[in-house]
Chain A
Amino acid sequence: MSTSREAQGRQIGRVLCGAWRARPDAAGLQAIDLLEASPLLLRSGSAGLAWWRARASGVPASALKPLHDAFALHALHGSVLEAKIPAAFERLRARGVEPLLGKGWAVARLYPRSGLRPYGDVDLYVRPRDEPAARAALEEGHEALPVDLHRGLAELDDRPFDDVLARGPLVRLGDAEVRVLAPEDHLRLLALHLLRHGAWRPVWLCDLALIVETRPPDFDWEVFLAGDPVRTDAAACALRLAAELLGADLAGAPPRIRQRALPRWLVPAVLRQWSDTRFEPHGTRTPMAAEARRPAPLLRALRARWPNAVEATVGRRGPFNELPRLPFQIAECLCRTLRFVRSPPAIATAPER
């Protein structure tokens, strides 16, 4: 049975349906959906896409202003970040480290307009052995760069880093060339990243739809599907979710993706997550180490960290089947608690990504 929270999530899905396209269909957009979903769209960083689709609709400009303003701010913030990417590559290359750029700008550049896909930092992936040198290089110089440095490719560690690096094309960014993930690797990484974070941002699902629909003619689905079969199935479910909730066109995708039946709990779990107004995104929560010192907010902090069915399944490397998710959620919560208790203070206060 559909709950009101699921209905709110459905509204978001209807507003964002096809919004990543160069000419989204504004005619199918219901003004009531847009107006009611606006607070959640703003909260989840999806406002720019909603504005992009709605601007040709009959919705009054005054009602669209908050969405447009969010788009404009994302565009400006994106241009500030974009300007710093070449410097980050330069610093790393000076130390002999070739990074891969993923998520953020690497996917935002594919949208029809900058600002439609917000991002908060620059995600660079380096070989695990290069991580100390890369971190030292980033700490050099006067200007702090907004880089989120990743030691290896966590979501893609079932394939050799060097293979991923070799497939990654160089793309032009101003006067520089930066190396991004190949579309096959990027799609898999984004799908698994989305699931690992409980699919809380609808724009992540738009990313998948965009990459699938704008993939190059030589896109190799076998590369996308290669690796750990449990992860591959999870990634296939993520693409099916994009089709189910946002109308992504999976034409040309292998049958094991197009015909993957989603477990019954998955869509409601994602819709409820999209409409959770109390959810605190990763990176904005007060570190658990700080919360643990104050008993009063501890319960609230624990609630904020209760994993939803999607992230618990991925966190426990569980299959996306019809079995109940509660055991996965309890197990994931216990594992996180154990990790927190065992970790030294310096790690315990690290940002939650």
Chain B
Amino acid sequence: MGKPVSIRNGRPRQRRDGLVVQKLPEETLVYDLERHKAHCLEATAAAVWQACDGRRTVEDIAARATTRIGRRVPEEAVWLALRRLGRARLLEAPVEGPAVGPLTSRRDWLKKAALFGGLSVLSITAPTAAQAATCTTTTACEGLQNRLCTGAPCCTTGPNPAPPGTICKKVGNQNNCSCAP
């Protein structure tokens, strides 16, 4: 393996602030409260992410992930997962990957790593209709009185979309509700 680049002290650290995490048996779901983006981490990517404590090296992370998922996780796979986690802003510092040697192209090791599987870090988009089941439109929210604000997420689609991640809540000491951030 070549030397890693763009990684603080060679020991990646999982971002913790501003994230909502839901661990499920097959995947880990993460919602970024700052960027209002949701991600779905497959098993290996989740195991790598959980092992990023800022103290472990890539080699240590591979060993830890191997123990967690019950099959060997090669370092190439860890690098690929780190790169994807970094792109999703789920690490404190971005990771670009190892510097490759003269006999190994970047594409080759990416291929090799991708074959391992379980490394996806998928962005989740809000299906428009799915939101309709539980969201309050901006117009409906602004028509309410503060004691009756629904507290439900505001609809980010439709004729008067609210900013993502907002809820219908009361505004300061005023007597009404708002979808404002």
- Is B one of A's binding partners? yes
Task: Flag if B150 contacts A120 (CB, 8 Å).
Answer: yes
Contact A76-B134, Cβ < 8 Å, known A39-B129, A147-B151, A349-B143? no
CA distance A349 to B150 in the complex (A): 13
Stretch with Cβ within 8 A of B (4 or more), from A178-186, A217-225, A280-288, A329-337: A280-288
Q: Among residues 123 to 181 in chain B, which have CB atoms less than 8 Å away from a CB atom of chain A?
A: 124-130, 132-137, 139-140, 143-145, 147-153, 155, 167, 169-170
B38 within 8 A of A: yes
A-side contacts of B135, CB under 8 Å = 120, 284
CA distance A290 to B142 in the complex (A): 10
B-side contacts of A26, CB under 8 Å = none
CA distance A148 to B136 in the complex (A): 14
Q: Among residues 45 to 60 in chain B, which have CB atoms less than 8 Å away from a CB atom of chain A?
A: none
Interface size on A, residues (CB 8 A): 47
CB distance from A280 to the nearest CB of B (A): 9
Task: Flag if A350 contacts B145 (CB, 8 Å).
Answer: yes
Task: Flag if B155 contacts A289 (CB, 8 Å).
Answer: no
**Per-residue 0/1 for A99-140: is the Cβ within 8 Å of any B Cβ (1 yes, 0 no)?**
000000000000001110011110000000000000100010
Partner of A43, one of B129, B151, B153: B129
CA distance A148 to B168 in the complex (A): 12
Partner of A284, one of B22, B29, B127, B140: B140
B69 within 8 A of A: no
Partner of A121, one of B126, B128, B137, B151: B151
CA distance A70 to B129 in the complex (A): 9
**Per-residue 0/1 for B97-132: is the Cβ within 8 Å of any A Cβ (1 yes, 0 no)?**
000000000000000000000000000111111101
B5 within 8 A of A: no
Most chain A CB atoms below 10 A, which of B40, B129, B130, B170: B130
Beta-carbon nearest neighbor of A46 in chain B: B133
Task: Flag if A80 contacts B20 (CB, 8 Å).
Answer: yes
Contact A351-B130, Cβ < 8 Å, known A73-B124, A76-B20, A120-B150? no
> Number of A-B pairs whose CB atoms are under 8 Å?
126
CA distance A185 to B107 in the complex (A): 61
CB distance from B38 to the nearest CB of A (A): 6
Which secondary structure dominates chain B's binding surface? mixed
Contact A135-B147, Cβ < 8 Å, known A69-B125, A69-B127, A73-B130? yes
Task: Flag if A70 contacts B38 (CB, 8 Å).
Answer: no
A72 within 8 A of B: yes
**Per-residue 0/1 for B30-50: is the Cβ within 8 Å of any A Cβ (1 yes, 0 no)?**
110000001010000000000
CA distance A78 to B21 in the complex (A): 11
Q: Among residues 286 to 314 in chain A, which have CB atoms less than 8 Å away from a CB atom of chain B?
A: 286-287, 289-290
Partner of A346, one of B20, B21, B128, B145: B145
Partner of A47, one of B125, B130, B136: B130
Task: Flag if B140 contacts A118 (CB, 8 Å).
Answer: no
B24 within 8 A of A: yes
CB distance from A327 to the nearest CB of B (A): 31
CA distance A74 to B135 in the complex (A): 12
B-side contacts of A283, CB under 8 Å = 136, 140, 150, 152
Partner of A42, one of B124, B129, B152: B129
Most chain A CB atoms below 10 A, which of B124, B125, B133: B133
Partner of B133, one of A39, A145, A201: A201
A-side contacts of B31, CB under 8 Å = 76, 80
A195 within 8 A of B: no
CA distance A350 to B128 in the complex (A): 25
Contact A287-B144, Cβ < 8 Å, known A44-B133, A114-B22, A120-B150? yes
**Per-residue 0/1 for A217-251: is the Cβ within 8 Å of any B Cβ (1 yes, 0 no)?**
00000000000000000000000000000000000
Q: Which residues of B contact A (CB under 8 A)?
A: 20-22, 24, 27, 29-31, 38, 40, 124-130, 132-137, 139-140, 143-145, 147-153, 155, 167, 169-170
Give 30 A-B contacts (CB < 8 Å), ordered by A residue: A42-B129, A44-B133, A69-B38, A69-B127, A69-B130, A70-B127, A72-B124, A73-B124, A73-B126, A73-B130, A76-B20, A76-B22, A80-B20, A114-B22, A115-B22, A118-B133, A120-B152, A146-B150, A146-B152, A146-B167, A148-B150, A283-B152, A284-B132, A284-B155, A286-B143, A349-B143, A349-B145, A350-B145, A351-B144, A351-B148
Knowing that A72-B124, A113-B24 are A-B contacts, what are 15 other residue pairs whose CB atoms are under 8 Å apart, sorted by A's residue number?
A72-B27, A73-B38, A73-B130, A75-B24, A76-B22, A77-B153, A79-B22, A146-B151, A147-B151, A283-B152, A284-B155, A286-B140, A286-B143, A349-B143, A351-B144
Lowest 8 A-B CB distances belong to which pairs?
Answer: A146-B151, A45-B133, A120-B134, A42-B129, A70-B130, A43-B129, A287-B143, A120-B152
